[in-house]
Amino acid sequence: MQTSGRGRRRNPGKRNNKAALLGHFCATVTDRLLSAPLLGSVSRLVEQKGIDLVLGAVPDLLARTNANFVFLGSGHHYFENQLVDLSRQYPQRVFTHIGYSEEVAHQIEAGADIFLMPSRFEPCGLNQMYSLLYGTLPVVNKTGGLADTVVDASDENIANRTATGFVMTEPTTQALIAAIDRALEVHANPRIWNQLQRTAMEQDFGWDKSAMEYILLYRNDQAGQ
């Protein structure tokens, strides 16, 4: 893992967004809270979305790292209750909004440092694209649209400036923890983290680009006939 060049200042816009997000849940937002990596999730609380994997990973990460977590979602009552219980156990580190709020969803996308989306299957997926636009680097499972839109932060991809997130190759709690550990390691290096954020925010998933790719594919097919 490339982690040289520490010390460059982090994006001040992200810090402001993070302060606004934390202010929604905390009476006082301290420098210590702002400095710690914040992992966010906006999701239906069902197994398809991998919430059980997240819940399996959170206690280990709380014990070993200074990472904090913010969740927005609703779904299976079992998962809702587990998130609420975690927030009660760690009121300064785990923040939960059960239900849906468009405002809080955008605050999480904009204010978190890392976005958790370890879906077991995801034909397309939108939240990972939102998080890329906001410079909130996603941790995703290698499936469907997630595999198509997120480039893993391997040493090679970091070096050639194509990395935009962290990809796990199997839907297990162990794989999720390993991917988050990699993300936290890179997050500790502002120079590389800022580079990944810039690359993520430059991604274009609009229809103009897609339409042109379809046109080129059609023309190539016609030329080959």
CA 96 from chain center: how many Å? Answer: 16
- In angstroms, how far apart are the furthest CA atoms of the chain? 67
How would you write the pLDDT of the chain (225 residues) with one tens digit per residue? Answer: 433 344 456 778 899 999 999 999 999 999 999 999 999 999 999 999 999 999 999 999 999 999 999 999 999 999 999 999 999 999 999 999 999 999 999 999 999 999 999 999 999 999 999 999 999 999 999 999 999 999 999 999 999 999 999 999 999 999 999 999 999 999 999 999 999 999 999 998 765 666 666 667 777 766 766
Enclosing domain of residue 102: 12-223
Provide the number of structural domains found in the chain. Answer: 1
DSSP string for the chain: -----TTPPPPHHHHHHHHHHHHHH-S---HHHHHS-EEEEEEEESGGGTHHHHHHHHHHHHHHS--EEEEEEEE-HHHHHHHHHHHHH-TTTEEEEES--HHHHHHHHHH-SEEEE--S--SS-SHHHHHHHTT-EEEEESSHHHHHH--B--HHHHHTT---BEEESS-SHHHHHHHHHHHHHHHT-HHHHHHHHHHHHT---SHHHHHHHHHHHHHHHHHT-
CATH number assigned to the domain comprising residue 195: 3.40.50.2000
* β pairing state of 114-117 and 94-98: unpaired
- Looking at the domain assignment, is residue 3 inside a domain? no
- Looking at the domain assignment, is residue 199 inside a domain? yes
Q: Provide the whole-model pTM.
A: 0.89
- Looking at the domain assignment, is residue 206 inside a domain? yes
- Looking at the domain assignment, is residue 59 inside a domain? yes
Structural contact between residues 96 and 84, judged by C-beta atoms closer than 8 angstroms: yes
- Looking at the domain assignment, is residue 158 inside a domain? yes
- Looking at the domain assignment, is residue 211 inside a domain? yes
- Looking at the domain assignment, is residue 17 inside a domain? yes
Q: How far apart are CA 112 and CA 135, in angstroms?
A: 9
Tokens of 156: 């090679």
Q: With CA atoms as reference, report the closest residue to 99 among 71, 64, 135, 126.
A: 71
- Looking at the domain assignment, is residue 5 inside a domain? no
